[in-house]
Amino acid sequence: MEHRKFEPRKYEGKKSSEDLIFGVRSVIEAIKAEREINKIMIQKGMHKELFSELKDALAGKDFQLQFVPIEKLDALIDGNHQGVIAMVSPIEYKVIEPLVEEMLERGEKPFILVLDRITDVRNFGAIARSAECQGVHAILIPSKGSALVTPDAVKTSAGALNRIPVCKTTSLKDSLFYLQQLGMRIVACTEKTKIPLYEVNLRGSVAVILGSEEDGITSDLLNLADIKARIPMRGEIESMNVGVSAGIVLYEKTRQELHG
């Protein structure tokens, strides 16, 4: 059976500028059509029959679900949302493993930027802009607990998010282990080491991990990394904004490769 195509609508006059699909039937059809959905917001106490139908469509899917009061949904749109709104991604997410395999088959040296639970959308966009400028081949993020690609992120990235592949994974650890088995070195940028960034070899095939704004890189990823590196600092504040850190780290790879 051919599914009707449901196009998202933008609601610039509301609190969100994201592309939205609303109404139980429209959201179910979007799920069946495998649209790129960042998040689905569901009204707390939603009508039982409607929720049951939506629940069946969500079975086996890996969407971010958020249960919210009706007031939050009403603040997003003027229409009859029936207790459910889906936020649609402006890009198509990729899968990192085949992407890297194809690059290696072409004789390229993959440069992957891994963002471990970066939650600020504008930080994400700014990092993507730096990544595109410094030749990153793809950005890898977890499917949950991370900022996803929204119109605000695309705008902050100056369009970089339309140029550089963004890959989602249900397990950063598993994906990084796979890349490691393909011969890529995993570099974790963290203050939990004494090795300065400029002493670490960033040439060739490498995946660089940057951690969350709150607590850095998770311990399982730190343990998996081939080497840890820190950005030398002379002030009293122990860490920088992750977007600034990303620019420094990515440029260091460019510097090393340009100057031997």
Residues of the chain with CATH 3.30.1330.30: 9-88
Residues of the chain with CATH 3.40.1280.10: 96-258
pLDDT surpasses 80 at 239: no
14 confidence band (pLDDT: 50, 70, 90)? very low
Give the pLDDT score at 1.
40
- For domain 96-258, the CATH superfamily is SPOUT methyltransferase, trefoil knot domain (3.40.1280.10)
Q: At what angle do helices 96-105 and 172-181 cross, to 10 degrees?
A: 20
- CA–CA separation, 38 and 215 (whole Å): 24
| Residue 151 in tokens | 């119109």
Residues sharing a CB contact under 8 Å with residue 188, sequence separation 6 or more, in sequence order: 209, 211, 217, 221, 222, 225, 227, 228, 229
Greatest Cα pair distance, the chain, in angstroms, is 65
- CA–CA separation, 209 and 211 (whole Å): 7
8 confidence band (pLDDT: 50, 70, 90)? very low
- CA–CA separation, 249 and 230 (whole Å): 9
With beta carbons less than 8 A apart as the criterion, state whether 38 and 148 touch: yes
132: number of Cβ within 10 Å: 19
Give the pLDDT score at 244.
94
Please give the CATH topology (third level) of the domain spanning 9-88.
60s Ribosomal Protein L30; Chain: A; (3.30.1330)
Mean pLDDT of the chain: 89
- What's the mean pLDDT in 63-73? 90
- What's the mean pLDDT in 7-31? 69
Give the pLDDT score at 260.
65
Q: At what angle do helices 242-258 and 121-133 cross, to 10 degrees?
A: 10
Residues sharing a CB contact under 8 Å with residue 234, sequence separation 6 or more, in sequence order: none
pLDDT tens-digit profile of 178-204?
999 999 999 999 999 999 999 999 999
DSSP for 185-237 reads EEEEE-SS-S-BGGGS---SSEEEEE-BTTTBS-HHHHHH-SEEEB----SSS
Chain-centroid distance of CA 258 in Å reads: 29
Which letter, b or e, does each residue of 193-223 get, where b requires 16 or more Cβ atoms within 10 Å of its Cβ? beeebeebebeebbbbbbbbeeebbbeebbe
H runs (alpha helix) in 144-201: 151-156, 172-181
